[in-house]
Amino acid sequence: MAESRLPKIRKFMDEKGWKYQYREEDGVGVIEFLYRDRSYHIWEYQDDDGSFGAESNVRTCGRMEDYTGDYEQKILDVILAWLEDEKRQAYKDRQW
């Protein structure tokens, strides 16, 4: 059996307890999830040269963007930045 796709992102979401839908189509992974009532997508693809990448709207929510190279980590870095921003905002909100 082939290895499941997008393992880093799925592991992160599982550890956080985030609900998401995962499926594979034509040998690539697709993740769809809601965060703060916004819909996000991560669609993996394979180029003609055999390399993989992903298209996602995690950075802008409304616009898809291509990620190449270590695309899973790049997408995770964007998601982790959301969490850091929320921490900073929560701290700021507690200040007088």
C-alpha span between 30 and 74 (Å, rounded): 16
Quick one: pLDDT band at residue 93, thresholds 50, 70, 90? confident
Structure tokens at 51: 């390399």
Q: Tell me, what DSSP letter sits at residue 74?
A: H
* C-alpha closest to that of 65 among 34, 40, 82: 40
* C-alpha closest to that of 77 among 60, 94, 90, 58: 58
C-alpha span between 64 and 55 (Å, rounded): 6
pLDDT 10s digits, 43-85? 999 999 999 999 999 999 889 999 999 999 999 999 999 989 8
- Average pLDDT taken over every residue of the chain: 91
Q: What is the mean pLDDT of residues 32-43?
A: 95
Contact (Cβ atoms closer than 8 angstroms) between residue 26 and residue 43:
no
pTM of the predicted protein model = 0.86
**Domain segments of the chain as ranges:** 7-94
